[in-house]
């Protein structure tokens, strides 16, 4: 089995970001144990590497570009080794099935195993082992059997990674210097496929014909079936100037319900995109509001947000932060962004494991960045790090959420474990809950003000039309959803 420090190195793999250099993780917040079993004394930086921020590794979205790996994880990553009885006489393929089953059994957040119970989950292992008995098809059959076994959990984030996928993920994260094509990818939890959330204007993907909504089928001729968004991102990244070929299925009406398949040769480049943009807008009654748009969370987002807020605040009577279409990114940045608007000791987020033990993360510092009434614009694509920020500010009654409906609902945390033979498994190990104790996974956040005029194509001004802005919003928030 892995030593604790080695295991934590795997746990510390973080989310790839669109334009983030490898920088030390800032000390963001204070961690306070909920129970005596908690480690105690860890500061936020260390906790980031081993707890809540592991959610970034297998979050619902990924941005193709330079990635982050903790210094301790850059060393060779040891494989999980499970003691086996010689009497079992398992084949190599069956042994891998057993390794994956045991690792999932140990870590998986749902102790009922999707309602199967311990016996039912054990039966899935037995079924996979029997199916491989006497087979001579090699490891490919084992990979298929493992993926079928994991499908029973009904969790698109708990996935098996073959050696090529795992190696691409780890080596690209370790280098941290690869170029991308300027896309944001997201795992569709309904279909289990990886789709393009957005393509950066002027980037290789956008110029080469990649469209929002495209389903990713192959990278350089290799199928990405069963791969996570992170693995696909790692396969796409490489040296600037080199070519990568994508096969995508465009959205639309094809014979099978999808659009046509396109083979697209693209040249990798270092795509620079400012994740934070600023401006202003007029509200009802002639009031002026500062406007900040956050398209993705990177390591630079918090610092960019501070500068933007300070630039747009003079003369403003409110502050509007637009998180529509923001599928997340670098989770620590979402936590730090929330902290900018919260007083010291405010609860930000909690991680809860299968045994019910919770690790609670608090803000610290000198207090709020601004006293202006705060409004967050959200939609169904607002996910992960964006939801962490939005939930922290909503539950602490610091911001009013405005949007057409619920946010995406990504509230699970994964760990990636290397296995003997070079493959790996991503296991959902914990759930995060909001300061008020809400589990938003699969449910999302309900805006305080529900506005049909706040879709992706609508302006921020349209979203805010009819929203009454008053200084009381800072203290009281909205007690119940209002519809416009």
The 8-class DSSP code of residue 359 comes to E
149, 215 in Cβ contact below 8 A?
Answer: no
Mapped onto helix, strand or coil, the DSSP state of residue 63 is strand
Phi, psi for residue 40 in degrees, rounded to 5: 70, 135
Residue 23: count of CB within 10 angstroms of its CB: 10
Residues 6+ apart with CB under 8 A from 183: 63, 64, 196, 197, 198, 199, 200, 203, 205, 210, 236
Residues 6+ apart with CB under 8 A from 250: 211, 213, 214, 258, 259, 260, 261, 262
Q: Which residues are catalytic?
A: 384, 395, 410
Q: Which of 318, 330, 214, 206 is nearest to 276 (CA)?
A: 330
CA atoms within 13 A on the CB side of 64: 35
354, 110 in Cβ contact below 8 A?
Answer: yes
Q: Which of 251, 222, 249, 250 is nearest to 236 (CA)?
A: 222
Residue found by looking up tokens 């747009």 in the block: 312
Query: Residues 235, 238, 240, 241: what is their CA dihedral angle, to the nearest 10 degrees?
Result: -70
Q: How far apart are CA 300 and CA 275, in angstroms?
A: 8
CA–chain centroid gap for 105, Å, is 23
Q: Which of 341, 430, 326 is nearest to 47 (CA)?
A: 430
Sort 129 into a burial class: Cβ within 10 Å, 0-12 / 13-18 / 19+. buried
């Amino acid at each position: 089995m892995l030593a604790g420090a080695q295991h934590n190195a795997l746990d510390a793999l973080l989310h790839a970001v669109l334009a983030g250099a490898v920088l030390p993780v800032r000390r963001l917040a204070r961690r306070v144990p909920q129970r005596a079993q908690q480690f105690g004394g860890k500061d936020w930086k260390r906790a980031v590497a081993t707890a809540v921020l592991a959610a970034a590794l297998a979050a619902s979205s990924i941005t193709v570009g330079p990635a982050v790996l903790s210094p301790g994880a850059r060393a060779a990553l040891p494989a999980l080794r499970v003691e086996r009885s010689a009497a079992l006489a398992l084949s190599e393929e069956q042994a891998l099935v057993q390794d994956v089953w045991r690792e999932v059994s140990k870590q998986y957040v749902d102790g009922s195993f999707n309602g199967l119970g311990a016996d039912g989950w054990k039966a899935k292992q037995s079924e996979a082992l029997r199916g491989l008995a006497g087979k001579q098809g090699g490891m490919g059959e084992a990979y298929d059997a493992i993926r079928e076994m994991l499908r029973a959990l009904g969790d698109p984030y708990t996935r098996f990674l073959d050696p090529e996928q795992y190696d691409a993920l780890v080596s690209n994260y370790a280098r941290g210097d690869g170029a991308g094509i300027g896309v944001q990818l997201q795992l569709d939890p309904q279909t289990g496929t990886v789709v393009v959330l957005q393509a950066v204007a002027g980037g290789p993907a956008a110029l080469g014909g990649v469209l929002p909504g495209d389903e990713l089928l192959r990278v350089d001729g290799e199928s990405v079936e069963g791969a996570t968004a992170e693995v696909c991102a790692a396969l796409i990244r490489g040296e600037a100037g080199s070519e990568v070929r994508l096969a995508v299925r465009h959205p639309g009406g094809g014979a099978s319900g999808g659009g046509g398949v396109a083979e697209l040769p693209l040249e990798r480049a270092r795509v620079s995109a400012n994740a934070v943009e600023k401006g202003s807008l007029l509200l009802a009654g002639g009031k002026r509001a500062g406007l900040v748009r956050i398209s993705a969370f990177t390591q630079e987002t918090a610092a960019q947000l501070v500068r933007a807020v300070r630039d747009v605040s003079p003369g403003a009577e409110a502050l509007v932060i637009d998180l529509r279409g923001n599928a997340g990114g670098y989770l620590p940045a979402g936590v730090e962004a929330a902290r900018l608007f919260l007083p010291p000791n405010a609860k930000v987020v909690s991680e809860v494991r299968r045994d019910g033990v919770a690790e609670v993360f608090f803000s610290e510092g000198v207090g709020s960045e601004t006293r202006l009434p705060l409004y967050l614009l959200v939609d169904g694509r607002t996910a992960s790090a964006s939801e962490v920020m939005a939930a922290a500010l909503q539950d602490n009654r610091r911001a009013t959420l405005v949007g057409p409906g619920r946010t995406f609902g990504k509230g699970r945390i994964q760990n990636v474990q290397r296995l003997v033979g070079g493959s790996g498994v991503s296991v959902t190990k914990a759930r995060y809950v909001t300061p008020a104790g809400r589990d938003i996974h699969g449910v999302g956040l309900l805006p305080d003000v529900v506005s049909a005029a706040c879709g992706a194509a609508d302006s921020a001004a349209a979203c805010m039309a009819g929203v009454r802005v008053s200084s009381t919003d800072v203290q009281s928030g909205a007690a119940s959803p209002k519809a416009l």
